[in-house]
Amino acid sequence: MSECPTHGLMPVDTAIEILQRAGRQKTPAIEEMSLIEALGRVLAEDVISSLDVPPQANSAMDGYALNTADLNGEMIFTVSQRIAAGSQPSALQQGTIARIFTGAVIPNGANAVVMQEDCQVLADGRVKIVATVKDQENIRPQGQDIVSGQQILQQGERLTAAAIGLLATIGQPTVRVYQRLKVAFLSTGDELVEAGQPLAIGQIYNSNRSLIHSLLNEMGFIAIDGGVIADNLPATLAAFKKAAQLADVIISTGGVSVGEEDHVKAAIDQCGELDLWKIAIKPGKPLAFGRIGDVPFIGLPGNPQSVWVTFLILARQFLLNRQGQRHKLLPYAIPIAADFAIHKSQKRREYLRVRLNVSEAGLVLQRHNNQSSGVLSSAVWADGLAIVEMGQTVAEGDFLPFLSFSSLGVA
């Protein structure tokens, strides 16, 4: 998606590219673990199969194994053996058939399986075939799924349940993965109060702390809670330096604007370096990226909805790359018609909280009626984000790129 420059603000796509490149500069150490523990972990090396799957041709049906050459006018056969899954068959005797079950190895001499529904068992135990049988019918050939020497998984893939099942299919009991990234997160603001405590005038509950903690856990990182930082420069400096000793990455929420009580930028100027400062994104313009010593730092805005959007669109890109993930990083945005209009163009790319609805015209995007950066309830209501480019207006029925929350790695 192309964007025109906005004075003083970096385009979103440029910021994403910078975050991706920075994330790839280093990967965590490698560890080996059992498959049962590896769900959601990132693969540290390519996986090559050392065997064919299936290792031998097997039956796709319960039925009878035979040689089609014996069907020359003869349709009644003696059953010479019974082959169950997991057993080793004998070679098929010429002119006979073998009772066989799904998954059982095809005996030498057989080249087809007729399913039992196409057979009649006669009183004397012989079997009459009542259907036409083709060569290789109902046989799963050796190596149908995987052949020996085939690469089945790539370094940098996140291990899904299906991928772990595939590893078990080739008999691999353990897998080498990157260690989980340790991410320290801190909140700033004297107005913040933890849930369960009474609120005084001017105070609000600290939703960002729980939100970031949950997002990090959901994405498989080790979350290190750095607590709430008081709104002064010495406290901010001390908290950042402590976090840098504990974590691979630091994330803070709030304090990245330019108010008198916003101290994050000043702290980074003293103990680190900034590479990004202010992005052309709505919600979320004030966003910082840099380093505290050698530890990467991401400073998110303070408003809860801004935290939600900037984490998913920007911070997520850095974190996944730094974790070693190299595939399925940027989800495909699906074009879906809007059931709303926007007559005033924006100066930043906007990510609207939207829900999928079915209308007479088909699938449409419904916009939440309050897109304020402080309204976190819109994220719970929505199915995902619709993208409106800077300078764009929207007419009802226009197609907008839609990113589902599930495609962004969150439920």
CA dist 25 and 23 (Å) reads: 6
Hey, what are 291's tokens?
């380093």
Torsions phi, psi of 188, nearest 5? -120, 145
Both 159 and 257 in one domain: the answer is no
Pair 94, 160 in one domain: no
Same structural domain for residues 85 and 16?
Answer: no
Radius of gyration of the chain (CA): 30
Choose the final residue of a domain: 112, 140, 168.
140
CATH value at residue 361? 2.40.340.10
Query: Do residue 105 and residue 240 come from a single domain?
Result: no
Same domain, 211 and 247: yes
Whether residue 360 is contained in a domain is answered as: yes
Do 35 and 166 meet the contact criterion of CB atoms below 8 Å apart? no
State which H helix or E strand residue 127 sits in.
strand 127-129
What's the pLDDT band for 287 if we cut at 50, 70, 90? confident
Please state the rounded mean pLDDT for residues 139-150.
98
Instruction: Copy the structure tokens of residue 76.
Output: 């009644």
Mutual angle of helices 264-271 and 233-246, in 10-degree steps: 60
Query: Cα 162 to the chain's mean position, in Å?
Result: 12
Residue 1 lies in a domain: no
Assigned domain for 20 exists: yes
Number of domains into which the chain is organized: 4
What one-character-per-residue DSSP string does 179-196 give?
PPPEEEEEEE-TTEE-TT
Q: Are 27 and 45 in contact (CB under 8 A)?
A: no
Distance between CA atoms of residues 212 and 245, nearest Å: 20
Helices (H), 311-348: 316-322
**According to the model, what pLDDT value does residue 261 have?**
57
What pLDDT shows up at residue 2?
40
- Claim to verify: residue 354 and residue 402 sit in the same structural domain: yes
Domain assignment present for residue 156? The answer is yes
Model confidence over 90-121: pLDDT tens digits? 999 999 999 999 999 999 999 999 999 999 99
Residue 235 CA to residue 293 CA, distance in Å, equals 17
CA 177 to chain centre: 16
CB 159 within 8 A of CB 41: yes
Residue 79, burial from CB neighbour count under 10 angstroms (0-12, 13-18, 19+): middle
Q: What is the domain-level CATH number for residue 36?
A: 3.90.105.10
Q: Measure CA of the first residue to CA of the last residue in the chain; give whole Å.
A: 25
Q: Is 250 contained in some domain?
A: yes
Greater confidence (259 vs 357) lies with 357
Residue 361, class by beta-carbon neighbours within 10 Å (0-12 exposed, 13-18 middle, 19+ buried)? Answer: exposed
* Of the candidates 123, 64, 120, the residue with the CA atom closest to the CA atom of residue 89: 64
Shared domain check, 300 and 243: yes
Residue 173 lies in a domain: yes
Q: Judge residue 359's burial from the number of C-beta atoms within 10 Å of its C-beta, 0-12 exposed, 13-18 middle, 19 or more buried.
A: exposed
Containing structural domain, residue 171: 31-53+145-178
We report the CATH number of the domain holding residue 120 as 2.170.190.11
Kindly state the tokens that stand for 270. 């003293």
Residue type for 57, please? A
Residue 277, judged by CB atoms within 10 A of its CB (0-12, 13-18, 19+), counts as: middle
Same domain, 191 and 311: yes
- Token pair, residue 209, equals 């702390």
Per-residue confidence (pLDDT) for residue 230, from 0 to 100: 87
Tens-place pLDDT, residues 5-42? 455 799 999 999 999 999 999 999 999 999 999 999 99
d(C-alpha 106, C-alpha 58), whole Å = 5
Strand partners, 66: 112
Instruction: Give the CATH number of the domain where residue 301 resides.
Output: 3.40.980.10
Q: Choose among 124, 131, 135: nearest CA to 66.
A: 135
Instruction: From 153, 178, 203, give the residue that closes a domain.
Output: 178
pLDDT-derived band at 322 (thresholds 50, 70, 90) equals very high
How sure is the predictor about 190, in pLDDT bands with cuts at 50, 70 and 90? Answer: confident
Domain match, 307 and 347 both: no
Residue 226: inside a domain: yes
Average pLDDT over all residues of the chain = 94
Same-domain status, 131 and 154: no
**Position with higher pLDDT, 284 vs 163:** 163
pLDDT of residue 392: 96
Verify that 150 and 223 share a domain, yes or no.
no
Verify that 118 and 244 share a domain, yes or no. no
- Mean per-residue pLDDT, 122-139: 96
pTM: 0.89
Residue 6 lies in a domain: no
Residue 331's pLDDT band (cuts 50, 70, 90): confident
